[in-house]
Amino acid sequence: MTIFSVRHITAYQYRRPVEFGEHRMMFRPRDSFDQRLLDVSIKVDPEPSYIRWIHDVFGNCVALVGLSKPAKELRFETHIRLDHTPHLALDLQIDEDAKTYPFAYDPDEIADLEQTIKRHCPDPDDAVGRWVRQFVLIGQPTETGRLLMTLCNGIHESFAYARRLERGTQLPLETLKLRRGTCRDFALLMMEAARALGLAARFVTGYIYVPDRDGSTTLGGGSTHAWCQIYLPGAGWVEFDPTNGIVGNRDLIRVAVARTPHQAIPLYGSYDGEAKDFKDMSVQVNVTTERTIEELL
């Protein structure tokens, strides 16, 4: 058991005072058997006129923030604490019928999984499909768990991580061509590759704990993280982080799940003004650990 603390600051600067539309925030982790929310707080400057919570179509917690005062800076600061239990999926408990690829999902689950099996990104020549099929053994059974672990590690080892400040997620075909991308790009590539194999996959946004940064409250450059989940009968939705080659939830703090990356943007909203009014944006995320009582005894 580990207690994680997350401090997340996003600040927007403008050249003149502007008025703001409603903003949507996804920062509250999903409560589950492997992570339990202990405390959460949010501070917005200027003072918001309201903060209203809803659940979206995927069951994610979304904070709707109303802002009535014009300002030259808009700042969001959130703090969360949660109890996290790591699960290493090195020995996936997959149903017997699904241990070998290919396999068929239960008809009762297909109706709910259908939109996560369907491919969402253009690929007229099936380049992603041809690429991912190199991980399927020819002439002998392919273990489902090993197939997906190899795919995850293949992206981690063969593609270069390159932080990109521009909005949006790179199309898988572009990531495949460039052999580089961000965590969101790699997550989407693995999702579309899994879907090309007929598997259900969905996008996950959240935070990652980096041990080398533990204890620091001043390091810049930290940001939200993204990975994916693939549905395996008997094992359920299993975490795969191709950016770091992680299988299972080790060091991963799940905030939101979605069918596509644009449905899980951590923070977005609008302002009333011209494009030239926008000056700058900064993001800082610090994830640290707290020593548990068991460690102190």
Domain count, the chain: 2
Task: Tell me if 201 is assigned to some domain.
Answer: yes
Q: Are residues 118 and 204 in the same domain?
A: yes
Task: Print the SS3 string covering 227-260.
Answer: EEEEEECCCEEEEEECCCCEEECCCEEEEEEECC
Q: What is the pLDDT of residue 20?
A: 98
Burial of 184 (0-12, 13-18, 19+ CB in 10 A): buried
For the chain, the helix, strand and coil percentages under 3-state DSSP, each to the nearest 5: 25, 40, 35
Name the maximum alpha-carbon separation found in the chain.
Answer: 66
Q: Are residues 144 and 177 in the same domain?
A: yes
Q: Which residue has the tokens 């999984």?
A: 113
Q: Are residues 194 and 228 in the same domain?
A: yes
Question: What is the CA 234 to chain-centroid distance, rounded?
Answer: 23
Task: Tell me if 91 is assigned to some domain.
Answer: no
Q: Are residues 279 and 136 in the same domain?
A: no
Which amino acid is it at 147?
A: L
Q: Are residues 241 and 201 in the same domain?
A: yes
Q: Are residues 199 and 76 in the same domain?
A: no
Q: What is the pLDDT of residue 265?
A: 95
C-alpha separations of 292 from 3, 4, 27, 38, 156 in Å: 7, 10, 24, 13, 32
**pTM of the predicted protein model:** 0.93
Q: What is the pLDDT of residue 293?
A: 43
Contact residues for 160 (Cβ-Cβ < 8 A; gap 6+): 179, 180
The domain in which residue 177 lies consists of: 96-264
Q: Are residues 165 and 60 in the same domain?
A: no
Task: Give CA–CA dist 80/256, Å, rounded.
Answer: 15
Q: Are residues 105 and 164 in the same domain?
A: yes
Task: Tell me if 90 is assigned to some domain.
Answer: no
Task: Tell me if 6 is assigned to some domain.
Answer: yes
CATH number of the domain residue 8 falls in: 2.60.40.2250
Q: What is the pLDDT of residue 280?
A: 95
Give φ, ψ of 90 to 5 degrees: -75, -25
Q: Are residues 186 and 271 in the same domain?
A: no
* Ordered alpha helix ranges (H), 59-126: 107-117
Task: Tell me if 174 is assigned to some domain.
Answer: yes
CATH number of the domain residue 214 falls in: 3.10.620.30
Q: How many CB atoms lie within 10 A of CB 54?
A: 10
Q: Are residues 112 and 209 in the same domain?
A: yes
Here the tokens at position 229 are 């989940």
Q: What is the pLDDT of residue 92?
A: 77
How would you write the pLDDT of the chain (297 residues) with one tens digit per residue? 799 999 999 999 999 999 999 999 999 999 999 999 999 999 999 999 999 999 999 999 999 999 999 999 999 999 999 999 988 765 678 999 999 999 999 999 999 999 999 999 999 999 999 999 999 999 899 999 999 999 999 999 999 999 876 778 999 999 999 999 999 999 999 999 999 999 999 999 999 998 876 654 333 336 899 999 999 999 999 999 999 999 999 999 999 999 999 999 999 999 999 999 999 999 999 999 986 445 544
Q: Give me the residues paired with residue 9 across strands.
A: 77, 284
Q: What is the pLDDT of residue 219?
A: 30
